[in-house]
Structure 1
Amino acid sequence: MLGSKLAPKSVSDDNLKSSSRYYIALDGLRAVAVLMVFCQHYGAAKAWIFGWGWTGVDVFFVLSGFLITGILYDSQNKQHRYRDFYARRTLRIFPLYYAVWLAILLLTPVAHWQWNWRWALWPAYVGNYARFLFLHVAGDSYQFDRILFGQTVEHWFGTPMHLWIGHFWSLCVEEQFYLIWPFIVYTVRKREALIKICIGVIITMPLFRWLLTVVLPLPLLRMELFYRSLPTRLDALLIGGLIALLLRGPEQKWLSTWRHRVLAGAGAAFVMAYLISVKLLKLPFYGSATNWIGIVGFTLIDVFAAALILECIHPGSWLGQALSFKPLRLLGIVSYGFYVYHDLLHDFFALFAMRFFPRMGYAGIVVTALMGTALISTLSYNLLEKPMLKLKARFTSQVHLTPRN
């Protein structure tokens, strides 16, 4: 056990045959991922580099696949494995998510939301498909990514005000994954067979997305269909699942030895694909809605994210030590709430900054949003999420096992 901040914390459990480890560096990685998404929503129009913030969601997907697959595989012989898994996921995800929707519902008489039944897709965790299902509905195709306040509230603030809910799409994708993957892991059971499933999906997914580019209309692809739907993002989640399974077998030594090469190789391959597509072939670039990114770019980014995870959990890793920096860890702990609130209240942060810090301009909006979101998410974690998380102890047969290095 290392004496540095990277050292994993052991969690004792009489029901487990081996020790469980919690790598604090992964909290730092969560913080980096959520800050990338924050920069996408608040800075993409100001700086080119911030326009790549959407890749933070890929980091979350790969990390979720890694952790969830580890939990499922390690608990497959437990008597109440389904109950424990879904109870713990419910206690972690639902309280905050549905508290937000309950607040929206209760504020309806005051806010006079301009909404209809189609917004119910979001509480049902299928809102990531809303913009694609209702293209025939008159008006802005992206109208289901936001809820508009009524004219009374608009008069109060002197400007149109929205609740931005479009970023909830990634929560929908993960929840849909949680409904499917446990049944596959618990049914198949054998590690080698699960590895083959992961590899098969990872290899075929770029081909599947390419076929979709042939048969689907271009406007639909430009609306980030590949980016926002579970069927086209399975490789991200299963790349994380794959490394979790490989770490639980003899391949662990290979991964430890080759992690640097995987990291460098994936990064170099993506840069090469970008240069060839954008600079040499002069193909149009639309960020996460770009065809070539949808076909091969997602997979390369996800492999890179997986290599980052391997680097984070490796003892003595410089990256793990950097991401174990306490402020990053603290942000990582509340990253779920930070993600939910940061864009939800975008208009409020902007209005507050422009009224109270008008001379700061754009910088004032960014600082206000960053500090405001950090404060709200910290309060949310301590007052709402943390009490619910304590109940997870009642389902102790599901503890994430991280293999020894």
Structure 2
Amino acid sequence: MKIGNDITSIQYLRAIAAISVLCFHGSAAYGLNFRVGAAGVDIFFVISGFIMWVTTEGRSVGPQEFMVRRLFRIVPLYWIATAATFVMAVLKPQFFFNIDTSIGNLIGSLLFLPVMKGEAMHPIVEQGWTLSYEMFFYLIFSISLFLPELRRLWFLMVALVAVVITHYLLPLGYISVFTEPVILEFAAGVVIGRLWKQGFRLSFHAAIGLMIAGLVLLMASDLIPHVDRAVRWGIPAVLLLSGAVFAERERGAPKLAFLHFLGDASYSIYVWHVLTGVIVTALLLRAGVPHAAQPAFLVLGSLAFAIICYLFIERPILRKMRPPRPQPA
């Protein structure tokens, strides 16, 4: 199922989202203000809902096949990154902050149920909390595959809204975390995917207008810091994705090979960038790079190492898991 990879704008948004989160963490390490970079997570969530619908509508994909494919796509790289981060945090704890390196949290992180501190999950891989949400969404989506497509759409909408309602009725532990309104970003992506598959069209200028509106709202998001992220960053993410895919439908998208490549590498960039950032920080300190120049070197170095991880870890894994092509008679 590679339809998502064939939509060029989705590839570009994946790249932008991953690099935005990387810059967010890189700036935070130096006390700089780039909070809007965290919105890359929300863009990923909307993309995920979109891709899950687009790659299953009109295809006979059962719940088991769907979950197996998603687990094969997500788990191996995440487990490798979790194990590597755990080892580094145990050996060099001075470079890691607020990471619970207990065996219980290691096991919980591998199972997407890490320890909770306050009202948030704290896996070994700092940004791994988002994958817990992804897995929760995949579980709900797999159940929907028992139903015909139209009923499946309504089931997903009702189920995800009901989950969020539960957040306000039973605010306890993991229930409170997994029922956050951010779950609705997946639902929005599903709706956009349904419209896209049904051939819905927007004029090119209207689609570009949606993208501009999304960017403006993102840039202005610091003016409403206490609003739930599903509103603060989720709505702009929905506008960006909608505008991008429907603008591409009307006039195509420019071919930017490197940005497309970064889209392919976006999962590795996302999963590895905190650990590679620690490694780059250590190298910068040892090399005596001036403090003012360190943030830029940190971002570029983390990105470079993450791309190496994609080329030599993720891509070989994907090749091994790809089903063999049938041989010609």
Give the TM-score, by structure 2 length.
0.77
For 1:94, the equivalent position in structure 2 comes to 75
- Whole-Å separation in 2 of the counterparts to 1:357 and 1:109: 25
Q: 1:331 to 1:230 in 2, by over 3 A?
A: farther
Mapped pair 1:131 → 2:117:
yes
Please tell me the residue identity of whatever aligns with 2:182. R
Contact 1:63–1:240 under 8 Å retained in 2: yes
Pick one of 299, 316, 320 that aligns with 1:387: 316
For 1:373, the equivalent position in structure 2 comes to 302
Mapped pair 1:82 → 2:63:
yes
Mapped pair 1:43 → 2:27:
yes
Shift in Å, 1:130 = 1.9
- Give CA-to-partner distance per residue, 1:180-208, whole Å, 9 cap, x none: 21211x123233x3444455578788877
Unaligned runs of 5+ in 1: 1-9, 12-18, 134-140, 147-164, 279-284, 397-405
For 2:96, the equivalent position in structure 1 comes to none
Pick one of 360, 364, 373 that aligns with 2:294: 364
Shift in Å, 1:385 = 1.9
Shift in Å, 1:171 = 1.6
- Give CA-to-partner distance per residue, 1:267-319, whole Å, 9 cap, x none: 667788x69xx5xxxxxx6x4xx2x23463244223223324424632425xx
Q: 1:97 to 1:255 in 2, by over 3 A?
A: farther
- Whole-Å separation in 2 of the counterparts to 1:23 and 1:66: 11
For 1:327, the equivalent position in structure 2 comes to 258
- Give CA-to-partner distance per residue, 1:219-267, whole Å, 9 cap, x none: x9xxxx98x64542221111111111122225x1358785345445556
Please tell me the residue identity of whatever aligns with 1:131. K
Pick one of 102, 125, 129 that aligns with 1:169: 129
Shift in Å, 1:43 = 1.7
- Whole-Å separation in 1 of the counterparts to 2:100 and 2:248: 47
Contact 1:125–1:171 under 8 Å retained in 2: yes
- Whole-Å separation in 2 of the counterparts to 1:351 and 1:125: 29
Please tell me the residue identity of whatever aligns with 2:72. L
- State which structure, 1 or 2, has the greater radius of gyration over its C-alpha atoms: 1
Contact 2:82–2:110 under 8 Å retained in 1: yes
Pick one of 54, 67, 70 that aligns with 2:54: 70
Please tell me the residue identity of whatever aligns with 2:238. V
- Whole-Å separation in 2 of the counterparts to 1:394 and 1:243: 29
Contact 2:85–2:275 under 8 Å retained in 1: no
Contact 2:211–2:244 under 8 Å retained in 1: no
For 1:154, the equivalent position in structure 2 comes to none
Contact 1:92–1:388 under 8 Å retained in 2: no
Contact 1:263–1:308 under 8 Å retained in 2: yes
Q: Secondary structure at the match of 1:100?
A: helix
Unaligned runs of 5+ in 2: 94-98
Contact 1:202–1:238 under 8 Å retained in 2: yes
Q: Secondary structure at the match of 1:241?
A: helix
Contact 1:270–1:300 under 8 Å retained in 2: no
Q: Percent identity, aligned pairs only?
A: 18
For 1:249, the equivalent position in structure 2 comes to 198
Shift in Å, 1:168 = 1.0
- Whole-Å separation in 2 of the counterparts to 1:216 and 1:82: 29
- Give CA-to-partner distance per residue, 1:139-166, whole Å, 9 cap, x none: xx99x456xxxxxxxxxxxxxxxxxx22
- Give CA-to-partner distance per residue, 1:15-62, whole Å, 9 cap, x none: xxxx997123322221111111111111246554x2210111111111
Q: 1:268 to 1:200 in 2, by over 3 A?
A: farther
Q: 1:299 to 1:196 in 2, by over 3 A?
A: farther
For 1:155, the equivalent position in structure 2 comes to none
Mapped pair 1:118 → 2:105:
yes
For 1:303, the equivalent position in structure 2 comes to 238
Contact 2:36–2:218 under 8 Å retained in 1: no
Please tell me the residue identity of whatever aligns with 1:305. L
For 1:234, the equivalent position in structure 2 comes to 183
Q: 1:198 to 1:246 in 2, by over 3 A?
A: farther
Please tell me the residue identity of whatever aligns with 2:112. Y
- Give CA-to-partner distance per residue, 1:102-150, whole Å, 9 cap, x none: 44566798568973223422111122x62247xxxxxxx99x456xxxx
Q: 1:366 to 1:230 in 2, by over 3 A?
A: farther
Q: 1:354 to 1:329 in 2, by over 3 A?
A: same
- Whole-Å separation in 2 of the counterparts to 1:254 and 1:204: 30
Q: Secondary structure at the match of 2:251?
A: coil
Shift in Å, 1:391 = 4.1
- Whole-Å separation in 1 of the counterparts to 2:229 and 2:207: 25
Contact 2:269–2:306 under 8 Å retained in 1: yes
